[in-house]
Structure 1
Amino acid sequence: MAKARVKVDADDVAQPRASLRRSTRNSSKGGGDVLIKHEDIPATTLVAPVRRSKRPRSAEDETVKAEPPTKIAKRSSSSSPSASPVSSRVKVQTEAPSPKKKHARSVKAEKGAGGKENNNNNSSDKAADLRAKKLKSYTQFANKSPFPDFARPSPEECERAYGVLAALHGERRRPEKVVSAPADRAGCGDAPSVLDALVRTILSQNTSNRNSTRAKLDMDAVYGGGESEERWERIAAGGAAKLEKAIARGGLGGVKSRAIVEILRQVRERYGKYSLDHLLLRTTEAEEEGGGDEEAMRELISFKGVGPKTASCVLLFCVGRDSFAVDTHVHRLTGMLGWRPATASRDETFAHLDVRIPDQLKYGLHVLFVEHGRKCPECKAGGKVLGKCELRKAFKRGKVKVEGQMEEGEVDRVKKEEEEAEEEEEEKGAKLESTTE
């Protein structure tokens, strides 16, 4: 096999040879000869060596096209012989992407296009799983306590507690019918419209009455007050982001706005209109059979963002059912009285007390526990035991049988756990608010 020989100065041997090797190699890839011009090298016809390819060459491997002859940049004769010429390189066309890379990019693009749909499917699956878990948890203890061996409170204890609290704060009896919803506050389920009562209760979750009222009034200012299909449609069509801004002063605006918009969507999808008032029209026969309350509870907690406490409030204050709602005050005071195990969660406490407390006392005891938990210096969150609380003294003096009642040190421990649980719930709500569903 013939090889080209070139005579050059000793100092210029390294670079021209490197140039020739690159040139002939690139020439072989292109399938043709590349002419090289260099002033310091005598014009000599270069014959590219014939090399056998290790594998058959396909079309995508032919990345160097046969273009007009590429020239090596001219080196100035005045430059130092020892200086390395940086411009004496053969410019080669950039390699084109192979079909394999194109295919990989197309697959990635297809996955990206379908990612939104997959996320929606995953969200739907998660929502269905959550709904199933809530229904299963409620059904498991719908008519029995999760603590069957915990015999408190007794009916006598419930009567005594109601009498003491009524003497302190006044009698509390449920009205025959809710005629109108309060316009100056959010309330907690006390509205004639079930859907309105549900939205008001959601606004009151994990916040004070003052903040929930602010959220309600701000929402009315943006979407209009009252109860109408047009108002609910404006809220649903505006989306969660707009509603979040409107109710921001109430706290957890992101979580609550998404829950409200999703509930409106589901209600319209299920019943063809924005209304849940069919829950008010349950037949007397269903109530006598004991299925009315349970059926209504099942339907309410099937909505995303609605748990037993929220549903119980709507049933108690709006629908007129006998349900013992458990909020933070009720949970704290019933723990102090020893009416529940110290480690019982709010949902477990609801399931237990809803069975143990007589129906005719559920409304009055709930309202009085909430009021006492807010006003009593000893029983409110962070209060100190001074021995002056009439409720504590009544049960401590043994006027009713109170086996298992907690000592004052145990009461303080439970109160501390309650405060920590509230802080943890607020932090959890803040995290949920910062994420999308």
Structure 2
Amino acid sequence: MATAASLPLKAEMNTLRRSSRNIKRELVDNSPLKSPTPSSTPRKRIKTEHHSPKPESSPAKKTAETPKAKPKDKDAALQSKKLSAYSFTRTSPFPNFPHPTARECSLALSILSSLHGARSRPTAAIKASSTSAGCGASPSVLDALVRTILSQNTSDRNSSRAKLSMDKVYSRSDNWPAIVAGGREKLQEAIRSGGLAAVKSRVIIDILEQVHAKYGEYSLDHLFDEADDAACMRELLSFKGIGPKTASCVLLFCLRRESFAVDTHVHRITGLLGWRPEGAGREEAHGHLDAMIPDGDKYPLHVLLITHGKKCEECKAGGKNLGRCELRKAFRKSKVKGEAGEVAKQEELDVIKKEEEEEEG
């Protein structure tokens, strides 16, 4: 028969014989039972807490999270935003900015024509160059679009090298089925010499696939029969990677519509002349100038401003105002008023001061 003193000892021995499952259950249930080895308690508690179920609030939080947009949804949203931002009614984004007036456009045309020769839209049928990419100059709308893409953000020489490389790789640069079948990597390698090959190859392949899926053929020539210029612009802008400058070049040269394309030369010089607000980006400048410049002046002004931007030592990229450029001198008043920005204003004031000092001397 057990004595009273042996009862606690027997109870303790019974406790030690309990199974690990009972110990775990009692620990979870916050049982007052203590483990015989102090170091084992924290280890078992950590393991138990690690596998404990998540709080009830977690599922609610998870369902409340906004689902990530799929790539196609993102592209559609960006395209919608681009189309809604563009004004198809030819209204300036700067309605209170008065330049250029029709008279100023006429004056600029007169000066540029005297410097570089008059320009007018050719009356003969367009012929696509076999040696250069060109910028929208092709009798095929799709070909004109691809050639203009090749000319983006690069020199004429590099874009032409890319076009000639496509001729070599695909037999001709407008062999659309072969280009699509070859895939992006092959096209990227073919146009590498033109710069931004990864981006341009993706844009070109995407456009070709979209056109074929929509019309059953590789052609956008139905735009020749479209009476509405805005509808042509909307169609071209609907393609991912195509902005107002590229679309405008296709309208101006291939479709022979009145549109004023703004490239880097045009953007720079119109800023020097005070024809756009200081800080206006290229797309904003396009919207403003396309609304302000008379239709009949758009083709010759575009061509002559690009020519001037390449040839004039004062107006080319990095050029310094020396007060000798006839075009800049003609628009001195608006620059002195500060309408071309403070930098242009100060440059012009410095030139005027120098001229006055030379006259006095």
- Do the two structures share a fold, i.e. TM-score over 0.5? yes
Distance 1:55 1:237 in 2: 68
| 2:214 is the alignment partner of 1:270 | yes
Read off the aligned partner of 1:383 and give its amino acid letter: G
Whether the aligned pair in 1 keeps the contact of 2:275 and 2:340 (CA below 8 Å) is no
1:401–1:361 distance in 2 versus 1, CA, 3 Å: farther
Count of residue pairs the alignment pairs up: 292
Whether the aligned pair in 1 keeps the contact of 2:278 and 2:341 (CA below 8 Å) is no
Q: Deviations over 1:23-65 (max 9, x none)?
A: xxxxxxxxxxxxxxxxxxxxxxxxxx964343599xxxxxxxx
Identify unmatched segments of 5+ residues in structure 1: 1-48, 58-99, 101-117, 287-291, 415-437
Higher Rg: 1
Q: What's 1:324 paired with? A: 260
User: Which of residues 292, 298, 304 is equivalent to 1:356?
Assistant: 292
Read off the aligned partner of 1:164 and give its amino acid letter: I
Deviation of 1:403 after TM superposition, in Å, equals 6.1
Whether the aligned pair in 2 keeps the contact of 1:178 and 1:318 (CA below 8 Å) is no
| 2:152 is the alignment partner of 1:218 | no
Deviation of 1:224 after TM superposition, in Å, equals 1.5
Q: What's 1:176 paired with? A: 123
Q: What's 1:148 paired with? A: 95
Read off the aligned partner of 1:304 and give its amino acid letter: K
Q: Deviations over 1:221-248 (max 9, x none)?
A: 1011264xxx101111111111000000
Q: What's 2:344 paired with? A: 410
Distance 2:240 2:137 in 1: 21
Relative CO higher for 1 or 2, CA cutoff 8 Å, sep ≥ 6? Answer: 2
Q: Deviations over 1:402-421 (max 9, x none)?
A: 9655488426889xxxxxxx
Q: Deviations over 1:385-414 (max 9, x none)?
A: 121111112233x6x999655488426889
| 2:92 is the alignment partner of 1:158 | no
Distance 1:412 1:402 in 2: 8
Distance 1:122 1:239 in 2: 23
Whether the aligned pair in 2 keeps the contact of 1:189 and 1:318 (CA below 8 Å) is yes
Normalised to the residue count of structure 2, the TM-score between the two structures is 0.76
Q: What's 2:19 paired with? A: 52
Question: What secondary structure is seen at the aligned counterpart in 1 of 2:93?
Answer: coil
Read off the aligned partner of 1:206 and give its amino acid letter: N
Q: Percent identity?
A: 58
Question: What secondary structure is seen at the aligned counterpart in 2 of 1:142?
Answer: coil
Distance 1:192 1:331 in 2: 27
Q: What's 1:250 paired with? A: 194
1:219–1:413 distance in 2 versus 1, CA, 3 Å: farther
Question: What secondary structure is seen at the aligned counterpart in 2 of 1:54?
Answer: helix
Q: What's 2:306 paired with? A: 370
Q: Deviations over 1:166-208 (max 9, x none)?
A: 1111111112354310011000000000000000000000000
Whether the aligned pair in 2 keeps the contact of 1:178 and 1:190 (CA below 8 Å) is no
Alignment of 1:72-111 (within 5 A): none
Question: What secondary structure is seen at the aligned counterpart in 2 of 1:326?
Answer: coil
Whether the aligned pair in 2 keeps the contact of 1:157 and 1:401 (CA below 8 Å) is no
User: Which of residues 56, 63, 77 is equivalent to 1:129?
Assistant: 77
Distance 2:209 2:217 in 1: 10
Higher helix share: 2
The runs of at least 4 aligned residues of structure 1 exceeding 4 Å deviation read 400-405, 411-414
Read off the aligned partner of 2:196 and give its amino acid letter: L
Question: What secondary structure is seen at the aligned counterpart in 1 of 2:218?
Answer: coil
Q: What's 2:320 paired with? A: 384
Whether the aligned pair in 2 keeps the contact of 1:263 and 1:304 (CA below 8 Å) is yes
1:412–1:233 distance in 2 versus 1, CA, 3 Å: farther
Distance 1:222 1:413 in 2: 50
Distance 2:342 2:271 in 1: 12
